Chains A and B, each alone.
Chain A
Amino acid sequence: DQQVKQNSPSLSVQEGRISILNCDYTNSMFDYFLWYKKYPAEGPTFLISISSIKDKNEDGRFTVFLNKSAKHLSLHIVPSQPGDSAVYFCAASPTGNQFYFGTGTSLTVIP
């Protein structure tokens, strides 16, 4: 059973606007959450993470929000750029040693 879910397989956004990617999880033992970005024919690269003791973490154009009561997190990209077009994976970990991934959201930023 999928413990981490990304219900939107794809998202298209105009350049300069905000991209919002969503992720839901079911396991209340998860205490660390990460976002990875993946270009075709390349491995995923780490983007940003958040611990369960926080509700927001920001790094440049990327902000991750965590709502523990709703078991929901989101990644905001502002402003979106064409180079942000990629597949984004949400991941969660209960211990820091095992990671559970969502199915990914393919983001297209339209110039």
Chain B
Amino acid sequence: DVKVTQSSRYLVKRTGEKVFLECVQDMDHENMFWYRQDPGLGLRLIYFSYDVKMKEKGDIPEGYSVSREKKERFSLILESASTNQTSMYLCASSLGTGGVEEKLFFGSGTQLSVL
């Protein structure tokens, strides 16, 4: 089974702090994604990556950056955390062949609270 591991289940940070969310997948997937989930808004794509050192902006990239130095690891960075970034953050990966059998495999999520 594919395993996507997010380093923290719960995080509490102060406004203005730099925050790192780490994600590791163990199935040699090409694609990795960061989503945030908010009530009534569903899952919104922040950033995604098709390859090492490649990154693409999703629908809501403002206030975030990402890093993918190794294929299995995709990090989300909040440069200066703000209270409106309090959310559930979900990392996902997919095989990357682009066919109709593609699916996303999600980690357990990180509930981030910014005070």
Residue numbers in B under 8 Å from A101 (CB-CB)? 35, 42-44
Residue numbers in A under 8 Å from B109 (CB-CB)? 41-43
Question: Is B104 a contact partner of A41 (Cβ separation < 8 A)?
Answer: no
Question: Is B41 a contact partner of A97 (Cβ separation < 8 A)?
Answer: no
Residue numbers in B under 8 Å from A95 (CB-CB)? 98
Question: Is B102 a contact partner of A96 (Cβ separation < 8 A)?
Answer: yes
A80 to chain B, nearest CB (A): 22
A44 to B90, CA, bound (A): 9
Where chain A touches its partner, the secondary structure class is: loop
Residue of B97, B106, B111 near A96 (CB, 8 A) is B97
Question: Is B42 a contact partner of A103 (Cβ separation < 8 A)?
Answer: yes
A34 to B102, CA, bound (A): 10
Residue numbers in A under 8 Å from B104 (CB-CB)? 34, 36, 44, 46, 91, 99
A98 to B40, CA, bound (A): 21
Binary flags per residue of B71-106, CB closer than 8 Å to A gives 1, else 0: 000000000000000000010101011111111111
Residue numbers in B under 8 Å from A34 (CB-CB)? 103-104
A43, A51, A95, most chain B CB atoms within 10 A: A43
A31 to B100, CA, bound (A): 8
Instruction: Say if the beta carbon of B53 comes within 8 Å of chain A.
Output: no
Binary flags per residue of A41-60, CB closer than 8 Å to B gives 1, else 0: 11111100101000000000
A45 to B9, CA, bound (A): 17
Residue numbers in A under 8 Å from B97 (CB-CB)? 96
Question: Is A44 a contact partner of B106 (Cβ separation < 8 A)?
Answer: yes
Residue of A nearest to B4 (CB): A43
Show 29 A/B contacts (Cβ-Cβ < 8 Å), sorted by A.
Answer: A31-B100, A32-B100, A32-B102, A36-B104, A41-B108, A41-B109, A41-B111, A43-B90, A43-B106, A44-B104, A44-B106, A45-B106, A46-B103, A49-B101, A49-B103, A93-B102, A96-B94, A96-B99, A97-B31, A97-B94, A97-B96, A97-B98, A97-B102, A100-B45, A101-B35, A101-B42, A102-B42, A103-B41, A104-B43
